[in-house]
Structure formats: C-alpha cells, structure tokens
C-alpha cells in the first residue's frame, strides 16, 4: 500500500479511537469530572438529559420574541455558502426580519436566556457537578438545516445541550494554540476546518467543550442548542470590584500612611521597603474575612438585573406563617436562575450570598447551607433532618422574604 494511503487509514483509525474515548455512558462523577475533563478533555453523553426536561424550555418562537428586545443580546448568523461570506447581525431585530431569512443556513443566538425564561434555567439541575458559581449564562441557538456559527473556539467552558433536532459536531482533541481567524468578519471563524472527532447529537445529548478547543456544529435538522457556559472574571475585574467593596466598607480602607519610611524614600524614589509595605497592605486586605464575604457576594450578582431594582417580597411572611405552610406539606424551592454562592471564612463561618448581598448565617445553619449547594427543594422533612425548625426557621423565612425561596406552584414575585 502506498505511504499516503497508509497515513490516511492511520488518521481515520485515530479519529475513530478519539470518538470512542470521548463518548461516555453517563455524566462522569464529580471526582472524575474535575480530575479528567474540566479544562482538559471534551466528552459526549448521549441521552444525558431526560426528554421530559425539554418540555418547559424556550421554543424557537419565544426565542425570536426575546431577540426583539432592546436589552437582550442576540445575533443572526448566516452560514457561508460555497465560496461566500459569513454574516453576523446583532439584535434587537424587527419582527419581519425572521420572515426574510429563508429555510436554511441561518441561526439565531440569544444570550442569558435563563434569566428571561426561567423554566429554561431548569436545565441547570443537570449540572450540579459543575462549579455553578462560575456559570455565566445559557445561550440558546435556533438553527435551520445548514445553520452554523463556523469553526471556532470559546474562552469559556461550555456544555452544549441538544434540545431539539439534529446537529453534526466536529470537536478538536487539544486546545488551539494560535487562533487564526478569517479577517473582516463580525464573527470569530477559524480559517481552517476543525480536525477531530465527528459526533451527531439529538435531543438530550450533551457535549462538554473545554476552553480553546476548536468545535463546529452544523445543523442537519432544525435544531435548538442550549450552551451552558462557565467563565471566570478577569483579574482586573476582581481587583476593581473588590476595590469598590473596600471603598464602601470604610474601616478597612485606610490611607497609606508612609509608616516606617527612611531616607531611601526621599524625593521621588519609592524605596523597596515602601513598595513592600504597600504590597503587604494589599495582601492583608485580600487575606481578610472581608474578602471571603465579598467573594460570595460578587459571584451571586445577577447578570442581567440592575441590582438596585431587586426587591424583597411585597407581602413578607412571618416564621409562623411559613412554618404552617410547610407543615401543610407545601414545599419550598429555589428557582435555578437565582444565583447563590457561598464561601467559608477562616473562622469557619459560611458566607451565603444571593443578589450580591451576604445573608446572616451561623454554624447552626451549616447543614442547610450545604443542602442548598446541591439541592433546590426544601420540605418540612428536610428541615427536620437539617437541624430542625427552631434552628433554621429564621434563615428560611429570611430566604423566602428575600425572594430566594418560593413555594412550588407560586408565581415568581420578582
């Protein structure tokens, strides 16, 4: 056999092996996920999410409705036909735009859908093994046959959840070192095609793609894809935001007083001792319990709402009112789109935060806080198991009155 033919067979065989190692029967355990996959290796799970879960998620028409709104980020991407150009238009769109797009080769993508269509957020229940505090948004795409955003990489971790129809994905086996994008497009499309495993997905299938792994999905049958993205802030953002927090704290925000300066700092020279002392002040501010509290608050910040406009309940309940309803077998739940986050201070206090504000907790609440980390419903039975009503009702009532917990079947009072 000719050398070229042998090389081709070897390449095809290695792609087949790659495809097989990527396909898992179920989601990995949390241990396996962080050890083997998170940030390191893509995987695919066919039928990972029960089809019934998709009954409540947003459909194509409602997605188009969101794309008409001023404050919601949306794009229409037209696929480049042979030799043509990719195009990307940004929303808001006029309603009649959708009638002019044709039957094929386009996608509509809308960001932060979990905030605007809260039933779509229920998809997040499948991702408790992931670091939910880093969850950025659920971007939803509706695509017609041939629809694609092209070969690309993302800077974030993403679970691509197939919610309807069929798509063929090609997934690279390692991160792209020097991304080379087609110039002059309002869209990041890699110049070359993606080399890697080819996988077809249908409803309930989930693909995990680590940052900078090239991927390309092409729709074979009218599809909805839910991209659950995880992206951490930049260091500069953290510094700026923590700086604002310190500013509001006053007592931790002292002027640098120049204590201990010596002759080396005369004139314009900032001597090494002065530099070290300023650096130490910053390090001390970062090592304080304030930092742990702020971190919980920062990661619980809603991504779309103006924080000033978030209100507590119009009709707050007392501990007793709430207890009676719980005893009457009405269960509480935490809607998945409401971000909570928790940190532990050096004195072991748990800082639980929601809507960008830390909530009052004590060590007696630890079990409940850990429960909220992995669960989203709370019954009277759970309350008994987590420490009992005497220890917990005040916090539970607080969570309810702050619009963090709701009764099942209750309309969201937000």
Binding interface with Co ion (CB under 5 A) = 154
Q: 225 or 361: whose CB is closer to ligand SIN?
A: 225
Q: In this complex, which beta carbon is closest to ligand SIN, that of residue 86 or of residue 245?
A: 86
The answer to whether residue 290 forms part of the interface with ligand SIN (CB under 6 A) is: no
Closest CB 154 distance from Co ion, rounded Å = 4
| Residue 376 interacts with which of ligand SIN, Co ion, none, CB < 5 to 8 Å by class | none
Site for ligand SIN in 116-155 (CB under 6 A): 141, 143, 149, 154
Task: Give the chain as a 3 state SS string.
Answer: CCHHHHHHHHHHHHHHHHHHHHEECCCCCHHHHHHHHCCCCCEEECCCCCHHHHHHCCCHHHHHHHCCCCCCCEEEEECCCCCCCCEEEECCCCHHHHHHCCCCCEEEEECCHHHHCCCHHHHHHHHCCCCHHHEEEEEEEEECCCCCCCCECCCCEEEEEEEEEEEEEEEEEEECCCCCECCCCCCCCECCCCCEEEEEECCCCEEEECCCEEEEEEEEEEEEEEEEEECCCCHHHHHHHHHHHHHHHCCCCCCCCCCCCCHHHCCCCCCHHHHHHHHHHHHHHHHCHHHHHHHHHHHCCCCCCCHHHCCCCCCCCCHHHHHHHHHCCCCEECCCCCCEEEEECCCCCEEEEECCEEECCCHHHHHHHHHHHHCCEECHHHHHHCCCHHHHHHHHHHHHHCCCCEECCCCCCC
Please say which residue, 113 or 326, places its beta carbon nearer to ligand SIN. 113
Q: Which residue, 377, 379, 374, is CA-closest to 389? A: 379
- Which residue lies nearest ligand SIN, judged by its C-beta? 141
Minimum distance from CB of 378 to ligand SIN (Å)? 34
User: Should residue 79 be labelled a site residue for ligand SIN when binding is judged by CB under 6 A?
Assistant: no
Give the closest residue to 393 by CA, choosing from 327, 310, 312, 343: 327
Nearer to Co ion (CB atom), residue 154 or residue 336:
154
Among residues 105, 107, 351, 361, which is the contact residue for ligand SIN, using CB under 6 A?
Answer: 107
Q: Which residue number, 120 or 141, has a Cβ lying nearer to ligand SIN?
A: 141
- Minimum Å gap between C-beta 87 and ligand SIN is 15
Nearer to ligand SIN, 215 or 337 (CB): 215
Q: State the minimum distance, in angstroms, from the CB of residue 217 to Co ion.
A: 8
Q: How many residues bind ligand SIN (CB under 6 A)?
A: 11
158 binds ligand SIN (CB under 6 A): yes
Q: Which residue number, 158 or 359, has a Cβ lying nearer to ligand SIN?
A: 158
Q: Tell whether omega for the bond before 92 is within 30 degrees of 0, i.e. cis.
A: yes
Residue (of 371, 355, 340) closest to 135 by Cα position: 340
Tell which one of 150, 196, 204, 217 touches ligand SIN (CB under 6 A). Answer: 217
CB of 208 to Co ion, least distance (A): 12
107 binds, among Co ion, ligand SIN, none (CB under 5 to 8 A by kind): ligand SIN
Q: Which does 225 bind (CB under 5 to 8 A by kind): Co ion, ligand SIN, none?
A: ligand SIN
- Based on the shown chain and the rule CB under 6 A, indicate whether residue 292 belongs to the binding site for ligand SIN: no
The distance of closest approach from Cβ of residue 321 to ligand SIN in the complex, given in angstroms and rounded to an integer, is 45
Least CB distance from residue 158 to Co ion, whole Å?
Answer: 6
Q: How far is the CB of 220 from Co ion (least distance, A)?
A: 18
Residues that bind ligand SIN (CB under 6 A): 107, 141, 143, 149, 154, 158, 160, 215, 217, 225, 227
């Amino acid at each position: 056999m000719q050398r070229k033919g042998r090389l081709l067979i070897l390449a095809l065989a290695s792609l087949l092996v790659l495809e097989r190692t990527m396909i898992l029967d179920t989601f990995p355990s949390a241990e396996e996920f962080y050890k083997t996959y998170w940030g390191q290796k893509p995987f695919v799970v066919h039928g990972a999410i029960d089809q019934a879960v998709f009954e409540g998620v947003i459909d194509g028409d409602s997605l188009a409705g969101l794309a008409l709104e001023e404050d919601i980020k949306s794009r229409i991407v037209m696929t480049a036909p042979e030799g043509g150009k990719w195009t990307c238009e940004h929303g808001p769109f006029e309603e009649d735009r959708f009638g002019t797009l044709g039957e094929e080769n386009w996608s509509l993508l809308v960001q932060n859908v979990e905030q605007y269509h809260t039933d779509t957020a229920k998809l997040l229940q499948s991702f408790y093994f992931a670091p939910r505090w880093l969850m950025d948004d659920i971007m939803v795409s509706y695509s017609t046959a041939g629809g694609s955003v092209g070969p690309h990489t993302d800077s974030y971790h993403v679970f691509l959840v197939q919610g309807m129809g069929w798509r063929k994905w090609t997934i690279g086996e390692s991160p792209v070192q020097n991304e080379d994008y087609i110039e002059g497009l309002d869209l990041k499309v890699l110049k070359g095609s993606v080399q890697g495993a080819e996988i077809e997905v249908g409803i309930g299938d989930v693909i995990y793609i680590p940052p900078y792994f090239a991927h390309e999905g092409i729709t074979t049958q009218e599809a909805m894809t839910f991209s659950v993205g995880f992206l951490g802030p930049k260091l500069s953002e953290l510094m700026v935001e923590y700086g604002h927090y310190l500013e509001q704290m006053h007592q931790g925000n002292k002027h640098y007083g120049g204590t201990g300066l010596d002759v080396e700092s005369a004139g314009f020279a900032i001597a090494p001792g002065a530099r070290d002392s300023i650096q130490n002040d910053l390090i001390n501010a970062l090592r304080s319990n304030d930092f742990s509290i702020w971190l919980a608050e920062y990661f619980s910040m809603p991504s779309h709402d103006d924080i000033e406009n978030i209100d507590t309940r119009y009709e707050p309940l007392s501990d007793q009112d709430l207890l009676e309803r719980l005893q009457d077998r009405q269960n509480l739940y935490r809607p998945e789109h409401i971000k909570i986050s928790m940190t532990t201070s050096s004195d072991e206090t748990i800082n639980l935060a929601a809507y960008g504000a830390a909530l009052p907790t004590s060590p007696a609440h630890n079990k409940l806080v850990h429960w909220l980390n992995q669960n989203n419903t709370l019954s009277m039975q759970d309350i008994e198991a987590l420490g009992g009503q005497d220890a917990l009702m005040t916090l539970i009532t607080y969570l309810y009155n702050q619009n963090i917990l709701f009764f099942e079947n209750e309309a969201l009072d937000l």
